Chain A
Amino acid sequence: MRSVTVAGKEFHLTKRAVERAVGRSLPEPVREHFVVVSGRRWPPKQVLALATGLDRADFTTHQARRVLTRLGFPASRVGARRGDSANSRRAERGAGGKGSSHGRARSRTSAELAQVAAPEPPGEPATLADALRPFIGQWVAIRDDEVLVAAPAPRHVIAWLAEHGQQAQSVFRVPGSEESIGGAAPL
Chain B
Amino acid sequence: MRFEFRAFPSASGGVLTPRPIVDVALEGLEAAPIACLLDTGALRTRISSEFVELAGIDLGDTISETVPVGGVRTVCSYAHVTLTISAGADRHSWDAPVWFCDPWPYDFGLAGLEGFLQHFRVTISGYEEYLEVVPEST
Q: Which of A16-24, A28-36, A73-81, A125-133 contacts B (4 or more CB under 8 A)?
A: A125-133
Residues B32 and A171 in contact, CB atoms below 8 Å apart: yes
A155 to chain B, nearest CB (A): 6
Which residues 60-93 of A have a CB within 8 angstroms of B?
A: none
**What residues on B are CB-neighbors of A171 within 8 Å?**
23, 32-35
Residue in contact with A181 in the complex, picked from B33, B37, B48, CB distance below 8 Å? B37
Closest to A179 in B: B70
A131 to chain B, nearest CB (A): 9
Residue in contact with A172 in the complex, picked from B34, B54, B68, CB distance below 8 Å? B34
Which residues 25-48 of B have a CB within 8 angstroms of A?
A: 29, 31-35, 37, 39, 41-44, 46, 48
**What residues on A are CB-neighbors of B42 within 8 Å?**
184-187
Residues A176 and B11 in contact, CB atoms below 8 Å apart: yes
B59 adjacent to chain A (CB < 8 Å): no
Closest to B42 in A: A185
Residues A172 and B41 in contact, CB atoms below 8 Å apart: no
Most buried by B among A130, A172, A181: A172
| Distance between Cα atoms of A129 and B42 in the complex (Å) | 26
Residues B9 and A183 in contact, CB atoms below 8 Å apart: no
Residues B108 and A172 in contact, CB atoms below 8 Å apart: yes
**What residues on A are CB-neighbors of B108 within 8 Å?**
172-173, 181
Residues B7 and A154 in contact, CB atoms below 8 Å apart: no
Q: How many residues of B contact A (CB 8 A)?
A: 38
A162 adjacent to chain B (CB < 8 Å): yes
Most buried by A among B12, B29, B48: B29
Residues B54 and A161 in contact, CB atoms below 8 Å apart: no
**What residues on A are CB-neighbors of B106 within 8 Å?**
180-181, 184
Known: A154-B50, A155-B54, A158-B54. A186 touches B69 (CB 8 A): yes
B89 adjacent to chain A (CB < 8 Å): no
Q: List 28 A-B contacts (CB under 8 A).
A: A129-B8, A129-B15, A133-B9, A154-B48, A154-B51, A162-B31, A171-B34, A171-B35, A172-B35, A173-B108, A174-B9, A175-B16, A176-B8, A176-B11, A178-B17, A181-B16, A181-B19, A181-B37, A181-B108, A184-B37, A184-B106, A185-B39, A186-B46, A186-B68, A186-B69, A186-B70, A187-B43, A187-B68
Q: Which 3 A-B pairs have the closest CB atoms?
A: A176-B11, A172-B35, A185-B41
Contacts from A to B (Cβ < 8 Å) = 127-130, 132-133, 136, 141, 153-155, 157-158, 161-162, 166-178, 180-181, 183-187
* Apart from the given pairs A186-B67, A187-B44, 20 other A-B contacts in the complex at a CB distance below 8 Å: A128-B6, A129-B7, A129-B15, A132-B8, A155-B50, A158-B54, A167-B31, A170-B21, A170-B34, A171-B32, A172-B21, A172-B108, A173-B108, A174-B8, A178-B10, A181-B37, A184-B106, A186-B42, A186-B44, A187-B68
